[in-house]
Chains A and B, each alone.
Chain A
Amino acid sequence: MIEFLGEVAAWFADPATWSGRDGIPVRLWEHLWISGVSLTAAIGVGLPLGLAIGHTGKGARAVVAIANIGRAVPSLGLMGLAFIVLLPLGLGVGPLPTIIALTALGIPPIVVNAYVGLREVDRDLVEAARGMGMRAGEILRRVEIPIALPVILAGVRTSAVQIVATATLAAAIGGGTLGQLIYIGFNVGDQVRIFGAALVVAALSIATEIGFATLQRAATSPGLRDRAYVPTEPAQVGRGGADSSP
């Protein structure tokens, strides 16, 4: 075991590991931009949806359904499906099928957390805001979102980590990423490379987690920072039954 870890360390120290089309820098960059595009798309689709459902309070059942389906659908299967559909368009080989699968993977936590985050905002505050003459959009922007922000960002954080950890799938169909090193390792029987590349993916996932956690803390309004409840897990749908009315 120690010997193996020594070999892994030697692999990291070898300049060849850091050069060329299949070196860590090229594939790491690919991993980052594919993850970034997927996360952006997931936010673009999931956040408006979650905010709409959360603000109106309607559609709890839809949210539960989205959450459950999203956790059950295998990313590899979705990627394969996208591959087949995109082939006739000349876009099957490359990052696109993976981006589609990763976006689908990232949407549920964002939708669910946006919904629950808004639902947990004290109804009295919303009533008071309405009493002050604020309209729906204003209430959302100036009251609900700032209070719900930590929970919303926790959802983004969960999606980000899942996307970064799963982006390795792209290597199966010409999308590259750090998964390329893992596939090569498997195909030539090089366990050192498989382990090394997996370590980089793990480190990247952890860095993503820490990065977004920091962002979450920084974005939390000072008035909320003393709250006993600090969200660290993806929110569970079905809580806050008393707040089911808009």
Chain B
Amino acid sequence: MRTNRTFVLGAALLALVVSACSPGEDESPGASAGGGSQAADLPTLTVGSAGFWESAVVAEIYAQALEGAGFTVERQLEQGARDVTHPALVDGQIDLMPEYIGGYLAVTYGGEPTPDIEESLAALREELEADGLVAFEPTPGTDADGFAVRQETADELDLTTMSDLAEVADQLTWGVAQECAENPNCGPGLESVYGIDIASLDVETLGACSTAIAEALNASNIDVAQVCTTQPEIAGFNLVLLEDDQGLAPAQNIVPVVRQEIVDEAGDLLESTLNDVSALLTTEELTNLGAAIILNGESYQDAASQWLADNGL
């Protein structure tokens, strides 16, 4: 019996060790590479993303597009927030990341982005250069912090823009992120641009852009929710996203950020492939991708392949 027990224990330990060493699920089914002779000259790229659906699916789209162009691509998706992904990019653990102009500039580099794309992108590129990084052309689509209400609330109080909302702000319960008071896109921004003093209002704090905050809004536990403008739950719950008429949100277009070394090795093919993809990512496309993934439960790989096929890439 002792032998039996030792054997079982040993087998269990072996299984544990083997499972810990097995490769992760980073490999995609992978589109077949283009011309075989080209693949030998092109560098292998590792594509990373932040820990939420939009970053992951855009990264997957870039990855599949590059594979289609002949690159060998590895993925490290859903790595976490910028305090993880940015060092990984600078150190070379990943080579390519989709990033948001305004958020990247403000959060990682302490800059002050504006709604002006050119201005914000120029400022971002200057910062990136010092870290050996390059940002290619931005997508037309954006994903910024926004505020949404239920359809009934919008109808009852005649709300279409943030300025409309400002007039009735004190009649509503606001759902904002825990750090709203310190986020320029929330507390301070609402005050300076729309004259809304969050500190004086009836406020509940939940994660911004989360499913939880959208559900709380839908169930009338709150009346206004801080959401992300491409958040699938907006369409899913038939919410009304209020128009940012006074320009609170900074430029939040997506840019592929690549390490300079890889750009030098890869040549124009890398840049042109990524730019061709970015040009077609409008806000509507991003929102539709969100609906497919979050509301319909599609995987990043499937949603990305489908999008590339639909757009002839």
Interface residues of A, Cβ cutoff 8 Å to B: 21-22, 83-84, 87-88, 90-94, 171-174, 176, 180, 183-184, 186-189
Contact = CB atoms under 8 A, between A and B. Distances in A.
19 contacts: A21-B199, A84-B215, A87-B219, A92-B221, A93-B175, A93-B204, A93-B206, A171-B205, A172-B206, A172-B212, A174-B205, A174-B216, A176-B205, A183-B178, A187-B178, A187-B179, A187-B183, A188-B183, A189-B107
Given A92-B221, A93-B222, 9 more contacts: A84-B215, A180-B205, A183-B178, A184-B178, A187-B183, A188-B179, A189-B81, A189-B83, A189-B107
Contact of A188 (B182, B199, B215, B221): B182
B179 A88 contact: no
Contacts of A174: 175, 204-206, 216
Contacts, number: 58
Q: Is the interface of B mostly helix, strand, loop or mixed?
A: mixed
Most buried by A among B81, B177, B179: B179
B181 interface: yes
B68 interface: no
Interface residues of B, number: 23
B212 A184 contact: no
Nearest to B220: A90
Interface of B: 81-83, 107, 175, 177-179, 181-183, 199, 204-207, 212, 215-216, 219-222
The 4 A-B residue pairs with the shortest CB-CB distance, nearest first, are A87-B219, A174-B204, A187-B179, A93-B221
B154 to A, nearest CB: 20
Contacts of B221: 87, 90-93
B179 A87 contact: no
Contact of A88 (B82, B205, B219): B219
A105 B184 CA distance: 38
A183 B204 CA distance: 14
Contacts of A92: 215-216, 219, 221
Contacts of A91: 221
Among B83, B178, B181, B182, the one with the most A-chain Cβ atoms within 10 Å of its Cβ is B178
